[in-house]
Amino acid sequence: MSRFLLSQVGDQFCDLVEQEKDAISLHMSEVFSPIAFPDKTIAWKRVVQGVREMCDVCETTLFNYHWACGKCGFVVCIDCYKGRKNGTIKIWEEAGKDRDDFSWLLCTNRQPHEQEKLMLTQIIADDSLLKLGANVHSIRQKWGVPQFCRCMSNKEQRGTNGIAKDLLKNLIKCETLNGVVKTEKNDVEMADGKKNGTKKNGVNGGDANRDEESKNSPLNFFADVALSSEEKKPSEGSVSSSDSEDDKENYSTLRELLIRPSNVGGSSAPASPGPPSASPSQAASKARSRSSTPTGAPSSKKSRSNATDSMDTMDTLDQVISSAIRDVAVGEKNLKGEEGNGTGAEETNAPVQLKHFIRRFSLQSREPLPIRIMTLAESMALYPDVPHSWLCDGKLLRLHDPNNRSNYRIFQDQWKRGQPVLVSDVTKCLDLSLWHPDSFARDFGDDKNDLINCSTGNIVPNQPMRRFWEGFEFVSRRLRDEKGQPMLLKLKDWPPGEDFAETLPARFADLMKALPLTEYTHRNGRLNIASRLPECFVRPDLGPKMYNAYGSAMHPTKGTTNLHLDVSDAVNVMVYVGIPQDLGDADEQNKEALRAIEEAGCDILTRRRVKEKGIIPGALWHIYAARDADRIRDLLNKVAIEKGARLEPHHDPIHDQSWYLDGPLRDRLYSEYGVEGFALVQCLGDAVFIPAGAPHQVRNLHSCIKVAEDFVSPENVSHCFHLTQEFRELSDTHTNHEDKLQIKNIIYHAVKDSLSVLMGQSKIDEEKKGSVEDGGKCKPSEQSSESAGTSVGSEESAVVVKEEPAET
């Protein structure tokens, strides 16, 4: 488990350490007043229990280094400090009387703060953070955990699966492959740059010389290393035992993997060498056919297991190669731009150029894995003990048994690619009487809360919730607008502010026992790394939260929840679906819902499913991959400009939650940008898992009661990190502006706890090895006490972690 956490979170932690190092460098390079700061001392602030330290400018949670005023206690984060120093700081709304022109609070003497007189302050004691950063690299190298970070420590000891990324980069950079490069005119360019008109099969004297040269090629070195490692460990991925024809197939496949082009733009599939005039639909069809091609057909249970392990190994190898190719491609692109050769897009096979959205900061993360498309025959060979099926043309995994303990492996194989997952039949573990509208009207009918009219977006303030619940299944009892029409209402943020467990204790306990994949979704789940925050920290509000709204099958352009994205992962459970009982024939209402499902672009299997007996469709979802968020922003900005709107600075078309992608907009998104999302129907008892950073929108077909629980998974922690940066760029009117997740603190403590387990286990292994060499054995009492837990921590805290067997 700890090894898995480090493989997912370690790179992001290294980026975090590098940011902290930048703060120290900035501090040491500044010129201070010799009277105020004679030795450039760094102050230390103790963690205050139950207090969340935030930047007074952007309201982002302070992690470690920040600058503070010694007089009034004003604090500013690294980003705001550097932004003002570099002249790139965001100018907020009107500053107000207590703030200066940069929205910095005035000091006690009503004078603006002088930046050079603020003192650098740290929260983590001494150099614990830097030592932890060094240990992250050494422990990952010792335990064979892949490293993709760009920090200096990694460059000194870089290596993954026996393949050096630096050597791989040099191989890809080479202008020749085995001494030869074929041009479009079938000419051959030698290594020294001279061209020769020799035929393809007659280079430098024929195939014999070429084969002789290829033996010494670095490419063959990579192939030999990878293939030999699989020969040594047949249980970890060697499906075939032949030594002639199969070896040649493996060799050519690996060579193709090593030299294939990488799509630098972050699309869901590798670049294709097809014609540049291919339409988006043709490109999508090709990508689908590539992704759905079977990788093998194991004939026994043992070989099925081997095939699964091999798939995981190749994922890691694919990450190494994609990362190296991406770095080289970016360098070549920049070089071409400097030399002024070519127009760019056509020569580099770049994706669609974004002209209406410019990202303010670059995303530093590993290349995402391609979207996986599966057939049931393929997946049943890999996961024979997991009841499941595939929707969205093989892109969306649907798990049929929420309590199956084997769900984790297939779930993680989808989740690490940023694909949503659907889990059915969750309500079989719920007490449905607790989730009926009459139950809420009885328990909370007199409480007042704000409502939202989904048709207009206007707030209907301070209404008794009884009026909302009584109209849940009776249109005649609903509140009406100024035209006398019943309103399409949504209950806003309820329960507000308080913890769900305290306001609704019985329902909270009922939900917790029914949630699937509890290691992710429970507050203390081992794969919910938000649980790693110590007790002295203010825990982030991760829910549960309720989403209660009337249905809108008759309003195809009105979404119950407009397009948006969340900073954390989430699971959303449909606990009740209500169909109005006073609108006549229920079959007619179901027909309207089915028509909406068909118009939404759902695949044929989804349309068949909602027609089955006992299946009650509740909500229509459109979910998009996080990697496509910028393309969606570009389209929405383009449409806004076409409508004559003025784009405001520091506003975001997704974070503003002002758009619902109807049919025409979805068609444009696909035809102009090649972006196709996941169109799915959430029925009664379905739990939808939405990855962090994935844009999504919801439209209720009938009146729905949904409960959502947020969590922070190791696989998507990089999205959480980048979204925190995005949110601080928003205007202060956004609800997501404040950083409540504290992702930096979560990453730090997750890494610290993981290292404590691995370092403790390494110590135990060394002692056992020494005992065996000395001819002795460890005493049972000593061994059990050592393996019970190890503690590692900075001077501010010590956390004891017990290593338990992983379920994955």
Q: What is the pLDDT of residue 575?
A: 97
Q: Where in the sequence is the domain holding 679, given as residue range(s)?
A: 388-744
Which of the pair, 170 or 516, is modelled with greater confidence?
A: 516
Question: Are the beta carbons of 84 and 115 closer than 8 angstroms?
Answer: yes
> What mean pLDDT is predicted for residues 682-706?
96
Q: Mean pLDDT of all residues in the chain?
A: 75
Structural domain contains residue 429: yes
- Residue 111 sits at the vertex; the CA angle it makes with 106 and 113, to the nearest 5 degrees, is 65
Q: How many independent structural domains does the chain possess?
A: 4
Q: Which of 319, 349, 382 is the last residue of a domain?
A: 382
469 and 453 fall within a common domain: yes
Other C-beta atoms lying within 10 Å of the C-beta of residue 215: 9
Which of the pair, 157 or 241, is modelled with greater confidence?
A: 157
Confidence of residue 766 (pLDDT cuts 50, 70, 90): confident
87 and 178 fall within a common domain: no
363 and 242 fall within a common domain: yes
Question: Are the beta carbons of 579 and 476 closer than 8 angstroms?
Answer: no
32 and 173 fall within a common domain: no
Other C-beta atoms lying within 10 Å of the C-beta of residue 402: 22
369 and 447 fall within a common domain: no
What is the spatial distance between Cα 332 and Cα 479, in angstroms, rounded to a whole number? 62
406 and 376 fall within a common domain: no
Tens digit of pLDDT for each residue in 718-750?
999 888 888 877 766 665 556 678 999 999 999
Which CATH number do you get for residue 705? 2.60.120.650
Nearest to 173 by CA among 348, 349, 325: 325
| Buried-state track 697-734, b at ≥16 Cβ within 10 A, e below 16 | bbbbbbbbbbbbbbbbbbbbbbbbbbbbebbbbbbeeb
Amino acid (one-letter) located at 508: F
801 and 738 fall within a common domain: no
Of these ranges, 127-141, 212-226, 565-579, 736-750, the one predicted with the greatest mean pLDDT is 565-579
The rounded percent of the chain whose pLDDT value lies above 90 is 40
Q: What is the pLDDT of residue 299?
A: 40
Checking if the pLDDT of 135 tops 60, the result is: yes
Checking if the pLDDT of 138 tops 60, the result is: yes
Structural domain contains residue 697: yes
What is the spatial distance between Cα 12 and Cα 22, in angstroms, rounded to a whole number? 16
Structural domain contains residue 203: no
> What mean pLDDT is predicted for residues 228-256?
41
Q: Which of 91, 114, 131 is the last residue of a domain?
A: 131
Nearest to 47 by CA among 531, 740, 537: 537
Tens digit of pLDDT for each residue in 418-453?
999 999 999 999 999 999 999 999 999 999 999 999
Structural domain contains residue 755: no
Tens digit of pLDDT for each residue in 503-554?
899 999 999 999 999 999 999 999 999 999 998 888 888 889 999 999 877 7
Question: Which of the residue ranges 463-472, 631-640, 769-778, 798-807 would you say has the lowest mean pLDDT?
Answer: 798-807
Nearest to 579 by CA among 610, 609, 550: 550
DSSP state of 371: P
Dihedral (C-alpha) 289, 295, 297, 298: value to the nearest 10 degrees? -150
Mapped onto helix, strand or coil, the DSSP state of residue 136 is helix
603 and 473 fall within a common domain: yes
Nearest to 168 by CA among 83, 258, 248, 265: 258
CA-CA-CA-CA torsion sign (213, 218, 221, 226): negative
DSSP state of 557: T
Q: What is the pLDDT of residue 372?
A: 95
Structural domain contains residue 96: yes
Other C-beta atoms lying within 10 Å of the C-beta of residue 307: 19
337 and 462 fall within a common domain: no
Q: What is the pLDDT of residue 58?
A: 84
pTM of the predicted protein model: 0.74
516 and 370 fall within a common domain: no
Structural domain contains residue 642: yes
Structural domain contains residue 284: no
588 and 712 fall within a common domain: yes
Which of the pair, 662 or 343, is modelled with greater confidence?
A: 662
Structural domain contains residue 317: yes
Question: Are the beta carbons of 659 and 651 closer than 8 angstroms?
Answer: no
Question: Are the beta carbons of 23 and 124 closer than 8 angstroms?
Answer: no
Amino acid (one-letter) located at 41: T
Which of the pair, 361 or 246, is modelled with greater confidence?
A: 361
184 and 84 fall within a common domain: no
